[in-house]
Structure 1
Amino acid sequence: MKKRVCIWILLGLMTFSVGCGKEEVVEEPEIVEVVEEVPEVVEEVEEVEEVVDLTGKAPNPLTGLYIDEDVINRRPVGIVISNIHNAIPQIGIEDADVIYETLVEGGITRLYAVYQDVTGDKIGPVRSARHYYLDFAFDFDAIFVHIGGSPQAYDAIRKLRAPNLDAMSSSVAYKDPSRKSPHSTYATKDRIMEIWEQKGYRTEKDPAFVNKFDFSEEIKLIDPEKVEKVILDFSSYHYAWFDYDADAMNYKRFQYLNYKKTGTGEHIDEGTGQQLVFDNIIIQLASVWNIKGDSAGRMDMNLLTEGDGYYLTRGEMVPITWSKKSHNEPTRYFDVNGDPLIMYPGKTWISVFPTNRTDKLLFE
């Protein structure tokens, strides 16, 4: 803001009376402009911190993220998902809190998608059980959803009294006529809840059950290595990888399900058209072998033991160890100091990868 002040300066008024009768000469006064600077007043704007209303919310034990508190103590649901090229694209798996992947016969993998609060009217394709997938269910005290299974799987279900919903003997899933069998079976939330009730299985978590994961927004990895890509070459048929997205701070999932490795590899959920992304990646190294004398070449693996692995989050990777003492206890993960692994809240992908193929496990 400027003020203008006019100051009249009288430079001189001279009067001449020189006897020749000349007129008086009067000089005009000069106007000088003076500018006075006045500092501008800046109004301070007070920042208002956004308040999130968590009324009726509680941390999801599978992700650490807040969800409706009325589902926190419910038993999770885990569904065996087909992951062969004829089954792609899958649907409803983007909503899973945790997804396991490991080998079955023929060099292909199968998924086990775990939901604290299962939703949706189409999830699948649902596929047959393998006995070691039951340990993934026991990791969360989860209901096990499948369609059929190997002889070893049915034997384990009986011996371990695993709470399972089998689409071979119930209406927990339906057939989609537009998809080719055996990759045409899909579960729904309503069907799962209906058959669950009919079976009379416990709906609440065992109070003595210890959660598999520990979460915190403030974690400090011990001597992490910068890793932007991890490649899991399961077999000549199945090649998977994750790329780190620094802007979103999560990992995008890719896979090739053919020998020629054609296409973009983006792992898409048909229901949303979105690529699968995860906040945490756990690679659990385990001994895997073919069952001797099994005509189908089925696999077995040792999950009731201790082993090594890796944890990736926010573009960094650290070595870890893991331990599972019994079927009914969850697999626990530990850092290099032997302390329980603390993870960032979010969705987790767990790849159980063969120890005899660690040369095919690459970090970039």
Structure 2
Amino acid sequence: MAAVVLAAALAAGCAGPGGRPDGGPVPTASPAATPAGGSPLAVKIDNVPAARPQTGLDAADVVYVEQVEGGLSRLMAVYASRLPEVVGPVRSARESDLELLRQFDRPYLAFSGAQRALLPLIDRAPVRPEPPDRASGAYYRDSARSAPHDLCLRPARLLRSAPGQGALTTGFRYGPAPSGGTPVASRTVRYPAARFTFTWSAPRHGWLITTDGTPTVTTDGPRPAPPTVVVQYVGIHDSPYHDVLGNPTPFTETVGSGRAEVLRDGRSYAATWSRPAADGGTAFTGPDGEPLDFAAGQVWVVFARAR
């Protein structure tokens, strides 16, 4: 099968979702029918400064934040309730993604490529890999951006329709705010070379995001303000893989249990997370052992190194 997908492998540029900047037609992929079980779409999204602002981020049901090489961050956005017209910029997959995505029913995985040694693992994983070399008509290059931060996806060319919330087999529970908690105006999570600050906005009833000191915005919608933010403390260790500069690729352990912090309604709640098996979702409980409900709407999960 085709190996690593490189930035130069596709024709450059796209003035917008309607077609190529030269006016030529964009080939279309045949969208797969949404299976009865409900397979969501997971998209690996770039998050370095040159990739911002992103497109389609506010439409995701869940956004996972993970550490990658050099202490930088990358996002995994999961779409089930609705599909935005465009998502991007799309970047490469990591080994951690395969464990994270096993909780879903064979999710579609949109990514720009992967290290050659990782490609066989992706093919064997219970996901539906959809890189550009398999679904070229679903991707285009944004001429306003520079490579490799210019690859964008049209989700409707992979799925005929959104599978619905039933495809979100995350294990999350939603409901009224629990009692207790501590009032908090903002919370900052730091990686070695990235940081995120979540600031409570009562008018938006959500947490406004600042990335590396800059407000997180999108090109096509309102500024993301997830009603629930989870800081999930996990094991992070070096994997067998490296980037082109020789930096080891971190592996984020999302199976197991540990400490967490849940932010909702302007308050912080101490929690414990538990995911006994990779094919199941993650449960969050409060200090009393009772399930801790999230607020309805988008959820951001930030994987932070356990202390």
* Rounded Cα–Cα distance in structure 2 between residues aligned with 1:323 and 1:156: 25
Between structure 1 and structure 2, the one with the greater Rg is: 1
Partner in structure 2 of residue 286 of structure 1: 234
Partner in structure 1 of residue 177 of structure 2: 219
Equivalent of 1:92, from 42, 49, 56?
56
Partner in structure 2 of residue 269 of structure 1: 218
Q: Report the identity percentage.
A: 21
Residues 286 and 147 (structure 1), Cα distance of their counterparts in 2 relative to 1, 3 Å cut: same
SS in structure 2 of the partner of residue 212 of structure 1: coil
Q: For 1:192-341, what aligned pairs fall within 5 Å after superposition?
A: 192-193=158-159, 212-216=171-175, 218-221=176-179, 223-235=180-192, 237-256=193-212, 265-272=214-221, 274-291=222-239, 294=242, 295-341=246-292
Please state how far the C-alpha of 1:204 moved relative to its aligned partner.
6.6
* Rounded Cα–Cα distance in structure 1 between residues aligned with 2:43 and 2:82: 10
* Rounded Cα–Cα distance in structure 2 between residues aligned with 1:210 and 1:181: 34
Please state how far the C-alpha of 1:289 moved relative to its aligned partner.
2.1
TM-score normalized by structure 1?
A: 0.67
Partner in structure 2 of residue 348 of structure 1: 299
* Rounded Cα–Cα distance in structure 2 between residues aligned with 1:91 and 1:293: 29
Q: For 1:1-364, what aligned pairs fall within 5 Å after superposition?
A: 74-141=38-105, 142-151=107-116, 153-171=118-136, 172-193=138-159, 212-216=171-175, 218-221=176-179, 223-235=180-192, 237-256=193-212, 265-272=214-221, 274-291=222-239, 294=242, 295-356=246-307
Please state how far the C-alpha of 1:112 moved relative to its aligned partner.
0.7
**RMSD (Å) for aligned C-alpha atoms:** 2.7
Which amino acid in the other structure matches residue 244 of structure 1? W
Residues 312 and 110 (structure 1), Cα distance of their counterparts in 2 relative to 1, 3 Å cut: same
Residues 281 and 293 (structure 1), Cα distance of their counterparts in 2 relative to 1, 3 Å cut: closer
User: Which ranges of structure 2 fall in alignment gaps of 5 or more residues?
Assistant: 1-33
SS in structure 1 of the partner of residue 65 of structure 2: strand
Residues 324 and 224 (structure 1), Cα distance of their counterparts in 2 relative to 1, 3 Å cut: same
* Rounded Cα–Cα distance in structure 2 between residues aligned with 1:210 and 1:350: 15
Please state how far the C-alpha of 1:279 moved relative to its aligned partner.
0.2
Report which structure shows greater RCO (CA 8 Å, sep ≥6): 2
Please state how far the C-alpha of 1:159 moved relative to its aligned partner.
3.5
SS in structure 2 of the partner of residue 281 of structure 1: strand
Structure 1 residue runs of 4 or more that deviate by more than 4 Å after TM superposition: 70-73, 207-211
Partner in structure 2 of residue 34 of structure 1: none
* Rounded Cα–Cα distance in structure 1 between residues aligned with 2:288 and 2:52: 41
SS in structure 1 of the partner of residue 248 of structure 2: coil
Q: Is the 8 A contact 2:112 2:132 kept in 1?
A: yes
* Rounded Cα–Cα distance in structure 2 between residues aligned with 1:159 and 1:120: 28
Residues 341 and 135 (structure 1), Cα distance of their counterparts in 2 relative to 1, 3 Å cut: farther
Q: Deviations 1:307-363 (Å, cap 9, x if unpaired)?
A: 11111101111111112222221122222122222122121110001124xxxxxxx
SS in structure 2 of the partner of residue 214 of structure 1: coil
Q: Deviations 1:208-245 (Å, cap 9, x if unpaired)?
A: 995522112x3323x3111110001112x312101111
* Rounded Cα–Cα distance in structure 1 between residues aligned with 2:289 and 2:122: 33
* Matched residue count: 268
Residues 241 and 247 (structure 1), Cα distance of their counterparts in 2 relative to 1, 3 Å cut: same
